[in-house]
Amino acid sequence: MTDLITEQATAAASGAAATEQFRSKQRTENTSADTERVDTLVSELLAATHDIVRRHKVTYAEYDALKAWLIQVGEDGEWPLFLDVWIEHAVEEVAGESRKGSKGTIEGPYYIPGSPRFAAEASLPTRDGEQGTPLLFQGQVRAVDGTPLSGAVVEMWHADNDGLYSQFAPGLPEWNLRGTVVADARGNFKIHTIEPAPYQIPTDGSCGKLIEAAGWHAWRPAHLHLKVAAPGHQLITTQLYFQGGEHVGDDIATAVKPELILAPTPVADGQGREVTYDFVLDKA
């Protein structure tokens, strides 16, 4: 049974789900295409590529290998994974550069809007006997001037103890380890969950092939994904990591920032660990 589940968690399956999820999000958002901007960005991207070809004397064999690989990324549905691992961190850096509040980082390909809503103290949905160290994640949502934000909403989603995300790997309940917690009138929230395992980029697809060919590793450190919002304030999309965890220092997605590393402590009179982390939101 376990073997069957592991076997079915393929790059093609999670890639197809991530591609479909992105398409459904894209349909509801406007994308503007300013001719001058497209001209500038695409021309510079092409010029940078030509420069690499000339400097490294790229051969026809290498050019054909690239062509075959690019075709395969599309067939595997792995464009969302590729872009979010190797490009998104730079886009996020630019997007967040003038913010004074809490740091954000990449969203990644596995966010699903509309997770079940809970009151200010909640447990994320889990299976009976969900594996992993219990974690109490609590804090307060405030404005930059320190005012507690009533009406704040904390959405959390993360991988399970096998590094798998619900709705992108088979055999997991639909909303496993995904929830939307409405903070109390003072912006306080308490979320009970389990600590996720490190996440490995699927090794059996085209991104896995690239990683192997380049002699890289395929790992992201264990992380909690969050979106934190409050009326009149800028939403932040972020991730939190665990001090001393594997790959905190060499995340393949380059999404770790020092401000995003948690140091949970053992729960005094219970099981597992707990940590307090406050979010500070900039005005909209």
- Under the rule (CB under 6 A), what is the footprint of ligand DHB? 81, 84-85, 106, 108-110, 199, 201, 220, 253
Longest distance between any two alpha carbons in the chain, whole Å? 65
Shortest separation between residue 239's beta carbon and Fe ion, angstroms: 7
Shortest separation between residue 199's beta carbon and Fe ion, angstroms: 5
257 to 197, 235, 282: CA distances (angstroms):
19, 18, 19
Binding partner of 85, given ligand DHB, Fe ion, none, CB within 5-8 angstroms per partner class: ligand DHB
Among 101, 108, 125, 187, binds Fe ion (CB under 5 A): 108
Do residues 233 and 282 touch, judged by C-beta distance below 8 A? yes
- Can you read off the two tokens belonging to residue 121? 């103290």
Binding partner of 84, given Fe ion, ligand DHB, none, CB within 5-8 angstroms per partner class: ligand DHB
Go through the chain and tell me how many residues it has: 284
Binding partner of 109, given ligand DHB, Fe ion, none, CB within 5-8 angstroms per partner class: ligand DHB
- Can you read off the two tokens belonging to residue 98? 């003038």
188 by Cβ neighbours in 10 Å (0-12 / 13-18 / 19+) ranks as: middle
Binding-site residue total for Fe ion (CB under 5 A)?
1
> Which is closer to Fe ion, CB of 108 or CB of 208?
108
- Cα 43 from Cα 260, distance rounded (Å): 36
> Which is closer to ligand DHB, CB of 179 or CB of 202?
202
> Which is closer to ligand DHB, CB of 151 or CB of 163?
163
In the complex, the residues that contact Fe ion under the rule CB under 5 A are: 108
